[in-house]
Amino acid sequence: MDLAVATATELVGMLRGGSLSSVDVVNAYLERIERMNPALNAVVTLDVEGARRDAARADAAHAAGALAGPLHGLPMTLKDSFETAGMLSTSGSRELESHVPERDGPTVGLLRAAGAVIMGKTNLPEYAGDWQTFNDLWGTTNNPWDLSRTPGGSSGGAAAALAAGMCAAELGSDVAGSIRVPAHFCGVYGHKPSWGIVPGRGHEPGPPGKLAKVDIGVLGPLARSAGDLDLLLSVVAAPETRDRTAWRLELPPPRHERASAFRVAAWLDDDECPVDSSVGDVLQGAVDALARAGADVDDRARPGFSLHETRVVFERLLAPVGALMTPARFTRIQALVAARPPADEGSESSVDRFRRAEVQSHWEWMEADEARARMGAQLAAFFSDYDVLLFPVAPVAAFPHDRRPERERTIEVDGRARDYIDLEVWMALAGLGHLPATVAPAGLTRDGLPAGIQIIGPYLEDRTTIACARALAGLIGGFHPPPPIPI
């Protein structure tokens, strides 16, 4: 089997059936990492001895008829923001360059309990704070489709490693697209779960040991098939540790399995954040494929509020999350805001509006939270008429590396420069609504770059968005590996 294209589901089946050993699969991935990672810089920490030891234990347990769980013997890597016992866990920051946790975070523990073999960690921007992947500790990660371009962020190393076939599956995190953008840029699958269904502790940022839940932010899988997302979600979706005394989590089955049964709303472009035509054409092709298959597609349906309203409320909810990730950042932002006079809301740039929101008062945040609740009620009504809402992931495909200060960065949409922060806009709806969102490969742009489509569904109906992604793959194909990487 070609491990570069094999799905986790296929590998688990072969491991369980005895036609593959975990040791053989681990060794094959380690060889592939050794050969390909120098060009990509996706994997930043490897535990070779530990991976081989755990794989040998998995094989011995299999021979004794004692399977640990649904991922028994499956080799994985993890985004380097997860506290992982005995392994460097740096979040891409020199402040944590020697940080080796004594225990796994709860979600990593769930993966190990299900039998996963953790081989190492993948790169991210410092403290998961960018839509590109570079930092002063580990350097820059390249996109396997074009080494001159970013794989996205913040789970950029995760998506690049998957696309290049250096691991079977990945665990990422997402607050403003950190799973979804890399999946889109690298041509793999990613799932942002409904908020609250995957334990969030043991993730950096915030600082190591932080106990409070983070609003909007979620942990979720990246993989090479929609079925893999379902498999991994079944492992990591669970109550927080202290809630397990009384709470149980039972996600409903998908509303449909066949493409022809889905009621689809499509919102593929908007003046608030125009989508480059090379990306838009790919997304329209995916929607057209669903329509030809018999799905009921409505390209005018909207949930009762605009994309601009979504963006403004999302910024007010998101900004404090990022500002409080590190005390140094909060202090810096507070000083910047204090030095600026109040701005006229109509003339304030999106960047200034976001920075001001980072130090808003608590009552201002509560006002935004009430707006979210009202929008959530509108979304619930919307999803009584539609099963899924199809969205772009980002206005552009993967762009060239840009290490300038964020205020100086732009993205190019059909030849016109747009603010870099526009990358947040199509992320906002699923984030503020705490909704599940699955990214599925939709095809290649005119420049030969991957484009993914974002499938948003009702709160807690994660299996519906994943099922739609699976149905779409049956129509247009799923994951395709990138061209050979110069090594």
Verify whether residue 306 is a known catalytic residue.
Answer: no
Helices (H) and strands (E) in the chain, counts: 14, 15
Residue 175, pLDDT score? 96
Q: Quick one: pLDDT at residue 135?
A: 97
The length of the chain in residues reads: 487
- Bond before 154 cis per omega within 30 degrees: yes
pLDDT in tens, 161-193: 999 999 999 999 999 999 999 999 999 999 999
Strand 189-192 with 170-174, pairing: unpaired
- The whole-angstrom separation of Cα 54 and Cα 48 is 10
Question: In angstroms, how far is the first alpha carbon of the chain from the final one?
Answer: 22
Catalytic residue among 22, 79, 93, 121: 79
> Which stretch of DSSP H or E encloses residue 417?
strand 416-419
8, 74 Cβ separation under 8 angstroms: yes
Residues 49, 38 contacting (CB under 8 angstroms): no
- Yes or no: say if 231 and 9 are a contact pair by the CB < 8 Å rule: yes
d(CA 13, CA 79): 25
pTM of the shown model: 0.95
Q: For position 352, what pLDDT does the model report? A: 75
Residues 264, 386 contacting (CB under 8 angstroms): yes
Write out residues in the chain with pLDDT < 50, as ranges: none
154, 155, 194, 225: the catalytic one is 154
Tens-digit pLDDT profile for residues 104-123? 999 999 999 999 999 999 99
Number of Cβ within 10 Å of residue 395's Cβ equals 22
Residue with tokens 């030969």: 448
User: Distance between CA 42 and CA 98 in Å, rounded?
Assistant: 19
Q: What is the pLDDT of residue 333?
A: 61
Q: Which residues of 87-100 are buried (b: 16+ CB within 10 A; e: fewer)?
A: bbbbbbbebbeeee
Q: Strands, DSSP E only, in 170-322?
A: 170-174, 189-192, 218-223, 263-266, 296-298
Q: Indicate which residue of 178, 194, 225, 350 is catalytic.
A: 178
Q: Which residues of 337-373 are buried (b: 16+ CB within 10 A; e: fewer)?
A: beeeeeeeeeeeebeebbbbbbbbeeeebeebeebbe
> Taking the CA atoms of the chain, what radius of gyration do you get in angstroms?
21
CA–CA separation, 6 vs 433, rounded Å?
Answer: 34
Which domains occur in the chain, in start order? 8-256 (3.90.1300.10), 260-420 (no CATH)
Look at residue 241 in the predicted model and tell me its pLDDT: 86
Look up 194 and say whether it is catalytic.
no
E strands of 228-302, at which residues?
Answer: 263-266, 296-298
Asked whether 479 and 446 are in contact (CB, 8 A), the reply is no
The CA distance from 162 to 164, in Å, is 5
Check: CB of residue 174 under 8 Å from CB of residue 218.
yes
Residue 451 has a pLDDT of 98
Determine whether 361 is an active site residue: no
β partners of residue 220: 172
